[in-house]
Amino acid sequence: MPARKPQRPRAAANTHHPDTTPKRQPPTPKTPHPLDRVRKIALALPEATERPSHGEPAWFVRNKLFATWEDHHHGDPVVGLWVKAAPGLQQILVQADPARYYRPKYVGHAGWIGVNMEADVDWPHVEDLIRDSYRMTAPKRLLAGLDART
């Protein structure tokens, strides 16, 4: 039997220079892009579909628009989500928090709300706004199905 090589003692961990020891960073969950989150919320609604409208993603129920995305549309300085809103809600939200909410071009005169998706997004509120916009647009039969699910 061949003689074994003597084992060299292992070096102790270098405690004086911590940057020489690779440290494993804890995994961080990837935050989905706001458009992906909006898409997931909108498409979970009964018979909701997505298709481009004016070059931007938009969500429809039975060919009626209930939400649309804005990514610097026609040079606007904002990435936003536009949704239908109950009368007066646009004014309340824009006055209360103009960093998050705005009156969107083209549809703002009809009460739609713009949600600044580059601001600190209140996701539960955004989900409520999308669902409310859907409720204002969808036929009653679909709303009955939605109410039964929630």
pLDDT for the residue numbered 100 = 96
Topology of domain 32-149, CATH? Aspartate Aminotransferase, domain 1 (3.90.1150)
Instruction: Tell me: pLDDT of 119 over 80.
Output: yes
Instruction: Tell me: pLDDT of 28 over 60.
Output: no
Q: Is the dihedral of CA 60, 65, 67, 69 positive or negative?
A: positive
* 61-101 confidence digits (pLDDT tens): 999 999 999 998 777 788 999 999 999 999 999 999 999 99
Instruction: Break the chain into its structural domains and give their ranges.
Output: 32-149
**C-alpha to C-alpha distance for 84 and 82, rounded to whole angstroms:** 7
Instruction: Tell me: pLDDT of 26 over 80.
Output: no
- Please, what is the Cα angle at 21 between 20 and 27, to 5 degrees? 125
pLDDT for the residue numbered 76 = 79
Confidence of residue 5 (pLDDT cuts 50, 70, 90): low
pLDDT for the residue numbered 25 = 40
Nearest to 115 by CA among 128, 133, 103, 131: 103
Q: What is the pTM of this model?
A: 0.77
Instruction: Tell me: pLDDT of 23 over 60.
Output: no
Give Cα 58 distance to the centre of its chain.
14
Task: Tell me the mean pLDDT in the region 13-33.
Answer: 49
Q: Reduce the DSSP state of residue 94 to 3 states and report it.
A: helix
Confidence of residue 117 (pLDDT cuts 50, 70, 90): very high
- DSSP symbols for 18-87: GGGS--PPPP-PPPPPHHHHHHHHHHTSTTEEEEEETTEEEEEETTEEEEEEEESGGG-S-EEEEE---T
Strands of 48-53's sheet, edge to edge? Answer: 48-53, 56-61, 64-71, 79-83, 113-116, 101-102
Task: Tell me the mean pLDDT in the region 105-129.
Answer: 95
